[in-house]
Structure 1
Amino acid sequence: MKKIFAFILLSLVLNTQAQLRKNMFAKDPYINLENWDKQRLTWGYYLGFNSYDFKFDYKSVGPDVQVKSTTGFNVGLVGNVRLYEYIDLRFEPGLYYTQRDLAFPDLTQPKDILREVKSTYIHFPLLLKFSALRTGNVRPYLLGGVSTALNLSSNAKIKDDNYTNRFRMTKWSNFYEVGFGVDLYLEYFKFSPSIRGVFSLKDELIRDNDPNSPWTSDIASMKTRGVFVNFTFQ
């Protein structure tokens, strides 16, 4: 599925690049979608990639939990409301799939050391977009805001814990987000690649039933952080 997703995204990006090159080297380049940003409400969709991580804080000094991130994928919708000439309000609900592998160096048995944390998030970000002055068919921007996410793979309601190979997280998480991107105005649509950092505001770890658990007893907090690379089409 990831290969199919990557192929579709690559095809869209290459097509966009071809349109940009055609416009840039034309004898009489023209302004595409000249009145696009004057619309009060616009819609679109995005595809992209993510890399999630965890930030751990500990109760005592000892070996850290090692986190190995993998590349996941994102897909979602965009609703954009123009507030002022250079400020927009955006709602970007989407589905985010990722996996993080945790290694606990204190433990010796292979079955106890590794925990695969697979997460499927339904992500609900509310963002402010601050755009610069448009130059030709290019317009850079900054993004910032807050979000909440439902983790469909949290295992929050399961009574089993790490003693039966179940790593548990809270079902809902809250984040703040900051990022930047650029709007590229093409002949028929607007293409916007962006990079965004996402940082959790609360502890997401559900402790094991045993207060002396070797997996969770020394962890003071565990917070998600991640990087999103999205390609938006409007």
Structure 2
Amino acid sequence: MKKSTFVILALLSIQFSNAQIFGGESITNQENIDNQKWSWGYYLGFNTYDFDFDYIDYEPDTKPDIRVETRVGFNVGLVGNLKLDNNLDLRFEPGVNFSTRGFQSLKSDINTYREINSTYVHLPLLIKFSANRLNNFKPFVVGGVSTSINLSSNQNNPDDNSAGQFRMKANTYNYEVGFGIDLYLYYFKFTPTLRGVFTINDELVRDADPNSIYTGNIDKMSSRGVFLNFTFQ
């Protein structure tokens, strides 16, 4: 699946929301769903993860030491929503994210490619600020903090890149920002959300060799992710 999947699905969501507003819709669906103090749901979605690097020695006019290849992964999880007032909600969205990245050092002529498969238990706590509902449509912005547990980190593996093992720290701490649209359908509320996830801490476990072409010149490595989730409530 290519990155264009994100664009296609986002355009479909926008097209659907336009039909809700301008298509002559006169029936108000799910009139009382937002009046509940607590509400629950689940989500399915897609992700793409990248790395952001800070180097110890780096010349602005030279190419970076590391090339990262991004791919599309999969998200699944649950939603717990606490209504604070008419336009403000507190949300907890525990889930599991499956991702794959390619990592390659450009400082050697030999094959240095590493495929990094990650399974994250993702635990975000978010504030959702919504506009007033218009017919069966309500846009919102969302932001908050999260922690992730990388079940595939290899943090405690004694082998490093000299033995073909790329290692990352198991725990990450992130901040998240995004936006979305609540679409009130006949049987349920459907919510597409596009969100950026930015890791704060350094995730890299360094090789034993301080001059390693993989980790020697990296001062900090942290993940950046884009999530496109579809929530059903």
Looking at structure 1, the residues matched to 151 and 222 of structure 2 have their Cα atoms a distance apart, in angstroms, of 17
1:179 and 1:72 map into 2 onto residues whose CA distance is 18
Q: CA deviation at 1:175?
A: 0.2
Aligned partner letter, 1:168: R
Q: Aligned residues, how many?
A: 221
- Written as runs of structure 1 = structure 2, the 5 A alignment for 1:73-152 is 73-110=74-111, 113-152=112-151
Q: Percent identity?
A: 51
SS in structure 2 at match of 1:83: strand
- Picking from 21, 24, 29, the partner of 1:32 is 29
Give yes or no for contact 2:203–2:220 (8 Å, CA) kept in 1.
yes
Q: Is the 8 Å Cα contact of residues 90 and 129 (structure 1) preserved in structure 2? A: yes
Q: Any stretches of 5+ residues in structure 2 without a counterpart?
A: none
- Note if contact 1:50-1:71 (Cα within 8 Å) is conserved in structure 2: yes
Match of 1:162 in 2: 161
Tell me the distance in 1 between the aligned counterparts of 2:135 and 2:23: 13
When normalised by structure 1's length, the TM-score is: 0.88
The answer (yes or no) to whether the contact 2:68–2:104 under 8 Å persists in 1 is yes
Q: Which amino acid aligns with 1:122?
A: V
- For structure 1, the 5+ residue unaligned runs are none
The DSSP-based 3-state class of the residue aligned with 2:34 is: helix
> Conserved in 2, the CA contact under 8 Å of 1:49 and 1:74?
yes
Secondary structure of the structure 2 residue equivalent to 1:37: helix
**2:218 counterpart of 1:219:** yes
Contact 1:23 1:29 (8 Å CA) reproduced: no
1:199 matched to which residue of 2?
198
Does structure 1 residue 182 correspond to structure 2 residue 169?
no
Give the letter for the 2:95 counterpart. Answer: G
1:16-55 correspondence to structure 2 within 5 Å: 29-55=26-52
Shift of the 83–22 alpha-carbon distance from structure 1 to 2, 3 Å rule, reads closer
The alpha carbon displacement at 1:61 in A equals 2.0
Give the secondary-structure state (helix, strand or coil) at the position aligned to 1:108: coil
On the 8 A contact 1:148/1:173 being kept in 2, the answer is yes
Give the Cα–Cα distance (whole angstroms) in 2 for the partners of residues 24 and 34 of structure 1.
Answer: 19
Output one character per residue of 1:121-156: Cα deviation in whole Å (capped at 9) or x when no partner: 010000000010000000000000000000011000
Q: Any conservation in 2 of the 1:23–1:30 contact (CA below 8 Å)?
A: no
Partner of 2:72 in structure 1?
Answer: 71
Q: CA RMSD in A?
A: 2.3
After the TM superposition, list the runs of 4 or more consecutive aligned residues in structure 1 that deviate by more than 3 angstroms: 20-26
Aligned equivalents of 1:22 and 1:109: distance in 2? 56
Cα gap change, 1:33 to 1:159, in 2 (>3 Å):
same
Do the aligned residues in 2 keep the contact of 1:189 with 1:233 (CA within 8 Å)? yes
What does the per-residue CA deviation read over 1:1-36, in whole Å, with 9 as the maximum and x for residues that have no partner? x8xxx9xxx9xx89xx6xx9699757x721111111
